[in-house]
Structure 1
Amino acid sequence: MSVTDYKMVEDRPADRYGSTAESGISGLAGTMSDRDGLMRGSSSDESSSYDDDDMSSEGEQMTIEELIYSSSSYYAIAKPVTLTMVLSALAVVLINDDATKQGNEAAMANAYQYFSVNDAGQSSGQNLAHSLANALIIVSVICGMTFMIVVLYRMKFMKCLIGYMIFCSGTLLGMLGGNVLQTAVQVYNIPVDKGTFYLFVYNFCIVGVLAVFFGQGIPTSVTQGYLVATSVILAWHLSFFDDWTAWTLLLMLALYDLCAVLTPCGPLKFLVEAMSQEGSPEMPGLLFEAELPPEAKRPVGSSRGRANIAASASDVERSAPPNPVSQPMDGSSESPRVKIPLAIAKVYQLPVVSIPSSSMSIMFPDRSSDTIGTTSPLLTNSDSTVILPENPTAEQLLAKVVVRLPAHGGRLEHVQRRGKKVYLERDRHGVPKRYLWVDRNGKVFAEMKDGDEEKPEKNSIRLGLGDFIFYSVLVAKAAQYSFATFAACILVILAGLGGTLVLLSVYHHALPALPISIFMGIVFYVLTRWFIEPWVEAVLEKPYYV
C-alpha cells in the first residue's frame, strides 16, 4: 500500500527517547504497557550501516504465495512478449525481398560496423574476431549512454531526459516505422499516394508519443500496443545485421545485462536504485508494465517471511549470552526475544536483555566481547536488563540488541517495501499500523497508515523494453532460417523468462531478464540448426514404419 504521511520521531533534548512522541505518531511510546507493541520478529532498517545477519537465510525457500505470484507474473508478461516475438518474426519474413534485404544489410553494415565482416573474402576466425569487436563497440556505446541517463536522472534533469526520450521515440516511430511501411508498400505494390502515406506516418508517430509519455486519458492497451510496435520496428531493423554480428551482439548484450544489473558499479543497478527511491519521478518509455490479477499479491509479508523471522529470532536467542532472564512483567510464561536496532528499542521502551557479540564493540568500545557472561557487570540484579549508555551515539543507535517482548503483544515484521527493507508493525490482532525504519543518524522514521486515505499500489510486473527488442531479434534471426529454429527459440526464451520470474519472486530485487533466455536461445538455435533438423530429415528420408 502507498502511504502519503511521512513522520519522524523527534524527541525533546532532555528526554530524547522518553514516553512522549512529539512527531504525531500516536502510541509509539508506552504501547508495551497496553500490549499493542511488538511481538516475535526479526527486523532490519532501510538505510543504516549495520549488517542484516539475521536475515541471511532469506531467499532460500519458496512459498505457495510466491509460486502463485510468479506464475501470475509469467502469465501477464508472457502474452505481450510472445506477441512481440511473433510479430517481429512475421515482419522479418514477410516484409522483405532480396533487394530490400541486401540494401538494408549494406546500410546497417556501413552505420554500425567498424570492422568488416565478409563471408566471401575472410575466414571464419577473422569474421568471428571482427564481429566480437563490433559487438564490443556497440555494447560500450550502450553502456556509456546508460551512464548518461543515470547521471541526468540523479541530477533531476528530467525535462532534458524526457525531451531526449520523446525525440528518440518520435524518430523511431516516424522514420523507422515509415521505413517499414514503405518497404511493405514496395514489396506488395500497395497503391497509396505520398500525401496519404506521410499523413498516416505522422499520425502514427504523434499518437504513439502521446500514448507512451502522456498516458492520462489514453487506454492502457493503446500504450502497450505502441510499446510492442516500437519493439517490432526496432527488431525488424536490427535483424539486418549479418549473422556473425547479430549472434555475437546478442551474446555480448546478455553478458552486459548480467554485469549492469548485478555488479555494484553496474549502470542499470544505479538506475534501478534511483528509480526505487521515495518520490523518484517516473521514466516512461523504458519499461513495459503488465497488470496482474487481483488475487496475485506480492509476497512481501508471506509465510516464508514470517518463518524466516521466527528462525532468525531463535538464532538470536542461541547466539545471545546465557544470561538468566526473569519472568516478564505481564506474568506470562514465555517472553520472546528478538534482535532490533537500539533506536527502535529506545522508542518503544523495550528492556534490553543482551547484546550480540557483533554489536558489543560498538556499544561498549572499552569492553571486550569475551567478558560477557552470566555474571557480567553489564546486567542489573533486578530484571536482568543491560545497562546501556546514557547518551548513545548514532553508531550505537544503529547497532542491534536483543530485547524482551510481551508474549501477548503485537509484532514487528521485516518486510521489503518498494525494494527497501523496513519494519511493518502490527497490533495484537494482526492489523498493520505503521512502517518503521532507522536512518544513518539513528532517527526512527515511520509512515502512518491512514486507512481510507491510502491509495493501493499498482499490482503489476515490469519488464525492460530492451528485453522485448532483443528477444525479438533472436527469434527473427531464427525465423529467417526455418520454422523449427523459430519454434525452438521462442519456446526456450519463454522458459528462460519464467525461470527469471521465479528467481524474482524469491529474491525480491531487480534481476537481468536477458541472460537466461538469450543463452538458452543461442544454444537451442545451434542444436536445432546443426543437430536436430539434420537428424529429423535423415529419419524422414528412411522408410521406417512403426
Structure 2
Amino acid sequence: MSAPSDSYRCMDTMRGTEGGDVVENSLLLGRRAPCAAGASSSHITVAAPATAPRASGVELSSAESMSQPLASSTAAGEGAEHESEPDDVDLFEQVDSLVKPVSAAMLSVVALVGILNSSPVSGSFSSMMVYEEKVDDSTSTKLAGSFENAAIFIALIVGVTSLLFVLYKLHCTRFIYAWLITSVGMLLASFGGLVAFMLILHFDIAMDYGTSTFVLWNFAVVGVRVVFWASPAIIKQSYLVIVSVLLAWSLTKLPDWTTWSILAAVSVWDLIAVLTPSGPLKGLVEESQRRNEPIPGLVYEADDVKLGLGDFVFYSVLVGRAMMHDVTTVVTCFVAILSGLGLTLLLLALYQKALPALPISIALGMACFFLTAYLVTPMVVALNDAGVFI
C-alpha cells in the first residue's frame, strides 16, 4: 500500500508534518508568515506534535505548526503594515472555522452521554486501568488510584510517541500508515458499531444483523478511505469529528476521579512536550524537518487551520463528564473551553511562538466544572428552595 500523501500536501515550497496516533495528544498551535512579500497573508495553524519556532524567514504549514515572526519575515515598511488588517480578518475567520467542528464534537458527545449514559459498557479503556473506583472508597484512596491510572495513560502516550519516532527514524513510513489505517478502521468498526447497536436498542429500531453488518462495514471502509486519501473536504472533516466523538465517548466511561486526573495529566504532558527543549516529540519534529517529509497522522483541516484530534477528544471528554451532572455545568464548561481556545490563539498572535492547545482550555473547563457543579448549582437550588430570587 502506497503511503497516501495528497491529504498532507503543504501550501509552500516546504512541506509540513502531521503527527500523532488516534489516542495521542501533544497538540499545539502555530502561525506561519508568507515566504515573500508577494505571498498570501499569514494564517493560523493548529496541530501536533510540538516544536520550537523556526528562525528561518521561510515557513511551512506543518502539523508541528512552526510559529514565525509575522512582520519581520515579510517585506519591510508599508508592505508589512498593509498585511496587518488581512491578518486580523483571517484570525477571526480561522477561529470561527475551529469553533464549529469543536462545538459539533462536544455537543455530539453530550448527546451520546445523555442518551446512553445509563447503558453499562464493559472493557474499553477501563480495562487498562489498575485501579477500579468504588463508591465506598475513601477520598485519599480514590485520589491515589486516579493518579496511578493517569500515570498508565500518560505512559501509553509516551510509548506510542517513542515507537512512532523510532519507526519514522528508520524510514518505516508505510508501516506507520498501515498502523494508523488499521487503528482508525478498528475504531470506526468497533466503537462505531457499539454506539450504533446501543442507539438501535435505545430507540427500538428494527434492523437485521445482515443489514447492520453491511452498513457498518461500508461506514468503516469509507472512513479509512476519506481520512487517508484525497477526498471531499467536508466528508473527511465529518469523519475526523466522528472519530474524535467515538474516542471521547469511550473515555467518558472511565471513573470520575480517573477522568479528572487524566485530563490534568494530559495538559501537563502537552506543556512538557511542546515547551521544553528536551520534549519527547522534539526529536520527531526535527527529523521531519531535516528530511523535509510529513509525519503521518490525523489532523482536522479547515481552510488554513489545522487542529489535531487529541484536542477534540479531551475537550469533548470534559463536557461529557459535565453532562453527567447537569445542563448548567455543560454550558459553563462549553463556553470555558471555547474561551480557552480563543485565548490560546490570542497568545499565539502576541508571542508568535508554538503553544500547546490543551492547558488553557482544560484548566478553564475544569475550574468552571467544579465551581458550577459544587458551588453555583447548589447555591441556586438552595436559594430557590428558600424562595429567594436574584
Judge same fold: TM > 0.5, yes or no: yes
The aligned counterpart of 1:107 is 123
Residue 93 (1) aligns with residue 103 (2): no
Q: Is the 8 A contact 1:70 1:502 kept in 2?
A: no
The counterpart of 2:194, out of the listed 179, 185, 205, is 179
C-alpha separation in 2, matches of 1:201 and 1:545: 51
C-alpha separation in 2, matches of 1:275 and 1:64: 33
How far has the Cα of 1:271 moved from its partner? 3.7
Residue 462 (1) aligns with residue 306 (2): yes
The aligned counterpart of 2:21 is none
Give the 3 Å change call, closer, same or farther, for CA 529–148 of structure 1 in structure 2. Answer: same
The aligned counterpart of 2:277 is 264
Residue 482 (1) aligns with residue 312 (2): no
Residue 169 (1) aligns with residue 184 (2): yes
From the CA coordinates, give the structure whose radius of gyration is larger: 1
The aligned counterpart of 1:158 is 173
Give the 3 Å change call, closer, same or farther, for CA 131–259 of structure 1 in structure 2. Answer: same
Q: How do 1:495-506 and structure 2 match up within 5 A?
A: 495-506=339-350
Q: Is the 8 A contact 2:318 2:365 kept in 1?
A: yes
The counterpart of 2:259, out of the listed 229, 234, 246, is 246
The counterpart of 1:144, out of the listed 126, 144, 159, is 159
| RMSD over aligned Cα atoms | 2.6
Greater percentage in strand: 1
The aligned counterpart of 1:118 is 134
C-alpha separation in 1, matches of 2:148 and 2:221: 37
Letter in 1 for 2:360: I
C-alpha separation in 2, matches of 1:96 and 1:515: 27
Q: Secondary structure at the match of 2:307?
A: strand
How far has the Cα of 1:65 moved from its partner? 5.2
C-alpha separation in 2, matches of 1:123 and 1:469: 30
C-alpha separation in 2, matches of 1:246 and 1:85: 16
Q: Is the 8 A contact 2:332 2:369 kept in 1?
A: yes
Q: Percent identity?
A: 35
The aligned counterpart of 2:12 is 2
How far has the Cα of 1:277 moved from its partner? 5.5
The aligned counterpart of 2:223 is 208
C-alpha separation in 1, matches of 2:389 and 2:277: 59
The aligned counterpart of 1:237 is 250
C-alpha separation in 1, matches of 2:156 and 2:124: 16
Letter in 1 for 2:202: V
Give the 3 Å change call, closer, same or farther, for CA 276–505 of structure 1 in structure 2. Answer: farther
Q: Is the 8 A contact 1:95 1:183 kept in 2?
A: yes
How far has the Cα of 1:510 moved from its partner? 3.1
Residue 526 (1) aligns with residue 370 (2): yes
Q: Is the 8 A contact 2:125 2:250 kept in 1?
A: no
Q: Secondary structure at the match of 1:543?
A: coil
C-alpha separation in 2, matches of 1:161 and 1:288: 19
How far has the Cα of 1:157 moved from its partner? 1.2
Question: TM-score when scaled to structure 2?
Answer: 0.76
Post-superposition Cα deviations, 1:380-439, rounded to whole Å, max 9, x if no partner, equal: xxxxxxxxxxxxxxxxxxxxxxxxxxxxxxxxxxxxxxxxxxxxxxxxxxxxxxxxxxxx
Letter in 2 for 1:244: W
How far has the Cα of 1:229 moved from its partner? 0.4
Give the 3 Å change call, closer, same or farther, for CA 473–518 of structure 1 in structure 2. Answer: same
Residue 538 (1) aligns with residue 377 (2): no
Give the 3 Å change call, closer, same or farther, for CA 168–541 of structure 1 in structure 2. Answer: same
C-alpha separation in 2, matches of 1:214 and 1:90: 30
C-alpha separation in 1, matches of 2:257 and 2:189: 29
Q: How do 1:259-408 and structure 2 match up within 5 A?
A: 259-276=272-289, 279-281=292-294, 283-284=296-297, 286-291=298-303
The aligned counterpart of 2:203 is 188
Letter in 1 for 2:261: T
C-alpha separation in 2, matches of 1:108 and 1:95: 15
Post-superposition Cα deviations, 1:113-136, rounded to whole Å, max 9, x if no partner, equal: 11232122x211011001111101
Q: How do 1:406-485 and structure 2 match up within 5 A?
A: 460-485=304-329
Q: Is the 8 A contact 1:173 1:205 kept in 2?
A: yes
C-alpha separation in 2, matches of 1:503 and 1:69: 16
Residue 226 (1) aligns with residue 70 (2): no
- In the alignment, structure 2 segments of 5+ residues that lack a partner are 1-10, 15-54, 59-68, 73-83
Q: Is the 8 A contact 1:258 1:515 kept in 2?
A: yes
Q: Secondary structure at the match of 1:267?
A: coil
How far has the Cα of 1:275 moved from its partner? 4.5
Q: Secondary structure at the match of 2:317?
A: helix
C-alpha separation in 2, matches of 1:520 and 1:151: 35
Post-superposition Cα deviations, 1:277-326, rounded to whole Å, max 9, x if no partner, equal: 67313524x211111xxxxxxxxxxxxxxxxxxxxxxxxxxxxxxxxxxx
Letter in 2 for 1:243: D
How far has the Cα of 1:541 moved from its partner? 2.7
Q: Secondary structure at the match of 2:281?
A: helix
Q: Is the 8 A contact 1:66 1:505 kept in 2?
A: no
How far has the Cα of 1:245 moved from its partner? 0.7
Q: Is the 8 A contact 2:248 2:316 kept in 1?
A: yes
How far has the Cα of 1:507 moved from its partner? 3.6
How far has the Cα of 1:151 moved from its partner? 2.4
Q: How do 1:3-18 and structure 2 match up within 5 A?
A: 3=13
The counterpart of 2:268, out of the listed 252, 255, 264, is 255
C-alpha separation in 1, matches of 2:328 and 2:174: 47
How far has the Cα of 1:148 moved from its partner? 1.4
How far has the Cα of 1:252 moved from its partner? 0.6
How far has the Cα of 1:66 moved from its partner? 4.7
Greater percentage in helix: 2
Question: TM-score when scaled to structure 1?
Answer: 0.55
Letter in 1 for 2:307: L
Letter in 1 for 2:251: L
Q: Is the 8 A contact 1:262 1:269 kept in 2?
A: no
The aligned counterpart of 1:298 is none
How far has the Cα of 1:538 moved from its partner? 2.3
Q: Secondary structure at the match of 1:266?
A: coil
